[in-house]
Amino acid sequence: MLTEDPLVSGSKAPHEISLLVRHAYVLTMDDEERVIEDGAIAVDGSRIVAVGTDTDVSAEVRASKVIDARGAPVHPGLVESHLHASYHIYRGALADDIPEGAIFSEFMDQFMNGVDEDEEYHGSLLAIIEMVRNGTTCFLEAGSAHAPDAVARAARLVGMRAVLGDPFICDQPDAFAMGNVSSDAPAQKSRLSRTPRNIQEATERLGHQIERNADPDALITGHVAVRGLGTASEELLLIAKRLADDSGTVLNMHHAYSPADTEAARRAYQADPLVHLAKLGVLGPNVTLGHANQLTEAERDVVIESGANIAWGPSAAAMWGLPGSFTGRHAEIWRGGGNIALGSDSGNWSNDFDVFRQAKAAILGTRQASGDRLSITAEDVLTMATRGGARAAGLSDRIGSIEVGKRADLVIHTLDRPELVPYTDMVRNLIYASGSKSVHSVVIDGRVVLEEGRFGHFDEPALLRGIADKSRAMMARLGISSRPNGRRVRGRSAI
Ligand SMILES: [Zn+2]
């Protein structure tokens, strides 16, 4: 079924288009969640111009390029809704036995104060190559690259959609609680030298990335990112929210990652932090909160009522042994009608950038914690990763579903993978068994970026080797290093 013009105009002549995806098991993720078993997607330029059965669509068009999905699932590109792209340059460097309170003094301070633009470019390039390979076509960067232009350059090289933020917007850097203070410990002085120190410095730095939105067709756009976790005054949060409102973008910030930062915010506000922010007018449908692991019932309710988005990183806090990723209220918010998107955070928190793996972690963790198999299902996480992510990134009008008029961000799988066989239920097999293993080709903004597992427009192995060299050189330059985990003696502890 063709959904609408221009292809059902009555003209007999086939329409010339740039790309036709044929014989696809199309998971449209549209409002009706239509599935077209032998479907086709017609793309012209950057946009989808027809979606329907293969018979109907292919009869109407003549495409300069055709991809035959041979019955495999095709779905909208996944959206990575919370990440720090440039941190991939030291992925895996933090040993499992480094105390959370020491990561800044032993590693992160030196990195954050010393990383240069070229290193941020290479870290981002690694992250972006990895994301596209895993079926992610868009990411919301959490305002953590000192040189957003470097991230933009990397995204442009690969051809990935990116939504960037200005770097480290905060006006109370010393209030940063994560890892540095417990609820009982005294606050420590921030040693980060490149963050704003007061509201004047923060507001001068704010708003530059949204200038990218002047071009309505831009692949790389901007949003308003604030660091969060207690580092922004109420005044700065209100300025940032107004800027997001006025510019039609999202306000994105970390929130309630750990018990310590949540407790610090509770003490500062003398109230549940999100209840307080809702009263202030900071929450709304264009606000995206990264993590939100430690919410009360009242905060769950204000998230749902306000329409704020949660960018859930199921693996991030769990990797550090912190509670809340699975025992928090993400599933309750989702089932209550709130919006949840998925994110991988960074190269030493989830370590890999694969939204499919976050999706499976979300399912397993939540089911275990709740004892309810229906707490989150395969269909739920596919919605979170596509439509949910598009909304969290402020791009619902452009991406998140396969519909006429939307940008052509498509993931085409292959059935030549054991994990998608037999063809019992395509969605369950995709989410529970295959994940990104069956990603075969990826289209972003109408361009075939990854084709049959290969990037045709750059030498991927050479780039990866260069990135590894760059990482080694950076760590030597900054005097930071990676070491193996401390030796563990098995069989001696009382369990
Ligand atoms: Zn983060």
pLDDT tens for residues 141-194? 999 999 999 999 999 999 999 999 999 999 998 776 644 444 455 556 778 889
Kindly tell me the burial class for residue 464, based on how many C-beta atoms sit within 10 Å of its own C-beta (0-12, 13-18, 19 or more).
middle
Give me the residues of the chain with pLDDT under 70, please: 1-12, 176-188, 488-495
Supply the pLDDT for residue 491.
65
What is the token pair recorded at 317?
A: 């806090």
Distance 254 CA to ligand 1 centre (A): 6
Q: CB count, 10 Å around CB of 108?
A: 19
Distance 227 CA to ligand 1 centre (A): 9
Distance 42 CA to ligand 1 centre (A): 37
What is the token pair recorded at 85?
A: 């792209």
Distance 313 CA to ligand 1 centre (A): 9
Distance 248 CA to ligand 1 centre (A): 23
Distance 376 CA to ligand 1 centre (A): 23
What is the enclosing helix (H) or strand (E) of 54? helix 54-60
Supply the pLDDT for residue 8.
44
8 Å CB contact between 159 and 138: no
8 Å CB contact between 23 and 425: no
Supply the pLDDT for residue 230.
87
Q: CB count, 10 Å around CB of 473?
A: 13
CA within 13 Å, CB half, 188: 17
Question: What is the Cα 59 distance to its own chain's centre?
Answer: 37
Distance 205 CA to ligand 1 centre (A): 19
Kindly tell me the burial class for residue 31, based on how many C-beta atoms sit within 10 Å of its own C-beta (0-12, 13-18, 19 or more).
exposed
Q: What residues contact 117, with CB distance under 8 A and at least 6 apart? A: 146, 147, 149, 150
The three-point CA angle 168-170-175 to 5° equals: 115
Supply the pLDDT for residue 2.
43
End-to-end CA distance of the chain: 60
Kindly tell me the burial class for residue 117, based on how many C-beta atoms sit within 10 Å of its own C-beta (0-12, 13-18, 19 or more).
middle
For 235-239, the CB contacts below 8 A with 24+ separation are 235/171, 235/199, 236/169, 236/170, 236/171, 236/199, 236/202, 236/203, 237/277, 237/280, 237/282, 238/280, 238/281, 238/282, 239/199, 239/203, 239/206
Supply the pLDDT for residue 26.
98
Distance 55 CA to ligand 1 centre (A): 45
**Of residues 266, 144, 224, the one with CA closest to residue 393:** 224
Q: What residues contact 491, with CB distance under 8 A and at least 6 apart? A: none
Distance 258 CA to ligand 1 centre (A): 12
Distance 213 CA to ligand 1 centre (A): 23
Distance 290 CA to ligand 1 centre (A): 7
Supply the pLDDT for residue 294.
97
Distance 276 CA to ligand 1 centre (A): 22
Distance 349 CA to ligand 1 centre (A): 9
Instruction: Supply the pTM of this predicted model.
Output: 0.95
Distance 397 CA to ligand 1 centre (A): 25
Report which residue type is found at 170.
Answer: C
Distance 434 CA to ligand 1 centre (A): 27
Distance 346 CA to ligand 1 centre (A): 7
Distance 261 CA to ligand 1 centre (A): 13
Distance 426 CA to ligand 1 centre (A): 32
Supply the pLDDT for residue 3.
43
d(CA 113, CA 109): 6
Classify each residue of 267-288 as buried b or exposed e, where b means 16 or more C-beta atoms within 10 Å of its C-beta: ebbeebbbbbbbeeebbbebbb
Supply the pLDDT for residue 176.
67
Kindly tell me the sign of the dihedral angle through the C-alpha atoms of 25, 134, 83, 248.
negative
Distance 143 CA to ligand 1 centre (A): 9
Distance 37 CA to ligand 1 centre (A): 38
Distance 348 CA to ligand 1 centre (A): 11
Q: What is the DSSP letter of 227?
A: E
Distance 141 CA to ligand 1 centre (A): 9
Distance 257 CA to ligand 1 centre (A): 9
